[in-house]
């Protein structure tokens, strides 16, 4: 299941519940991706879970690592500047090639008016080049900042980065998403999908990261956190 095989993906028409649609996408993945590939994906997810990487992700109460990254048109966007205007929701995603990521970002776009009404801003961050970030924003009509963390230094500072197993690198290439091509590096590294709500003082008030890329933070929990700030 890949963005390149768009005929396999039926995007929700109109408002949707992210948790429900993620479940549908999980079932769809198992019908369009070869069984041996999904088996290797699931094995890698189990190994990532066992590694306890998620235990090293920055959590609630911690100072959010600062960053300044280029947006889809190459302009620098800093966390400090965003925080000067209010709380910030930061969503780390894998790339335009990942349907689960696209679904998540579409859901965040759907909730953007509520996020803004609560005085916050929203940014999406991936390891992609700015050109691919621009493609992501245009394809899914994202109106918030989509930033490029080429080399994943910022994702690494949040404790999210892992290396893709060698046996999956060929699978990913065959599926149409060789990471070096999208990310402009020779690395086969990815971030755990992660969502953080950072208050205006720079403290993390909500943190979600999952070694299983088919699960994402529920926007309802993000909004609930913003209402407490």
Q: What is the rounded average pLDDT for all residues in the chain?
A: 94
Question: Quick check: is 4 in a domain?
Answer: no
Question: Quick check: is 213 in a domain?
Answer: yes
Q: So what's the pLDDT on residue 34? A: 93
Q: How far apart are CA 129 and CA 210, in angstroms?
A: 24
Kindly state the tokens that stand for 7: 């005929």
Q: So what's the pLDDT on residue 175? A: 92
Q: So what's the pLDDT on residue 3? A: 46
Q: What is the DSSP string of 149-188?
A: -TTSHHHHHTT-EEEPPHHHHHHHHHHT--HHHHHTSS--
Residue 1 has pLDDT above 70, yes or no: no
Question: Quick check: is 202 in a domain?
Answer: yes
Angle at which helices 99-117 and 130-139 cross, to 10°: 70
Question: Quick check: is 220 in a domain?
Answer: yes
> What is the span of the domain harbouring residue 52?
15-228
Question: Quick check: is 67 in a domain?
Answer: yes
Residue 180 has pLDDT above 70, yes or no: yes
| Number of domains making up the chain | 1
Q: Where are the alpha helices (DSSP H) in the chain?
A: 18-32, 35-50, 79-83, 99-117, 130-139, 153-157, 166-175, 179-183, 219-228
Kindly state the tokens that stand for 51: 């590694």
Q: What is the pTM of this model?
A: 0.94
Question: Quick check: is 216 in a domain?
Answer: yes
Q: So what's the pLDDT on residue 13? A: 82
Q: So what's the pLDDT on residue 14? A: 84
Residue 6 has pLDDT above 50, yes or no: no
Question: Quick check: is 201 in a domain?
Answer: yes
Q: So what's the pLDDT on residue 10? A: 83
Residue 171 has pLDDT above 50, yes or no: yes
Question: Quick check: is 2 in a domain?
Answer: no
Residues in CB range of 128: below 8 A, 6 or more apart: 95, 96, 136, 148, 150, 182, 183, 184
Q: How far apart are CA 219 and CA 221, in angstroms?
A: 5
Q: Grade residue 9 by pLDDT with cuts at 50, 70 and 90.
A: confident
Residue 95 has pLDDT above 70, yes or no: yes
Residue 204, helix vs strand vs coil: strand
Query: What CATH number does residue 80 fall under?
Result: 3.40.30.10
């Amino acid at each position: 299941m890949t963005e390149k095989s768009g005929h396999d993906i039926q995007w929700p028409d109109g408002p949707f519940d992210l948790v429900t649609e993620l479940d549908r996408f999980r079932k769809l993945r198992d019908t369009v991706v070869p069984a041996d590939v999904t088996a290797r994906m699931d094995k890698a997810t189990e190994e990532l879970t066992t590694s306890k990487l998620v235990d090293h992700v920055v959590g609630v109460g911690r100072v959010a690592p600062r960053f300044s990254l280029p947006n889809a048109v190459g302009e620098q966007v800093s966390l400090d500047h965003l925080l000067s205007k209010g709380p910030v929701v930061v969503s780390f995603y894998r790339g335009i090639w990942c349907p689960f990521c696209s679904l998540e970002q579409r859901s965040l776009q759907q909730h953007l008016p509520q996020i803004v009404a609560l005085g916050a801003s929203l940014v999406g961050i991936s390891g992609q080049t700015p050109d691919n970030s621009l493609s992501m924003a245009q394809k899914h009509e994202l109106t918030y900042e989509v930033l490029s963390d080429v080399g994943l230094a910022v994702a690494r500072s949040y404790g999210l980065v892992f290396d893709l197993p060698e046996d999956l690198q060929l699978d990913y290439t065959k599926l149409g998403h060789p990471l070096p091509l999208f990310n402009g590096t020779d690395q086969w590294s990815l971030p755990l999908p992660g969502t953080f709500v950072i208050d205006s003082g720079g403290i993390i008030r909500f943190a979600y990261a999952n070694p299983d890329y088919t699960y994402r933070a529920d926007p309802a929990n993000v909004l609930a956190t913003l209402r407490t700030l």
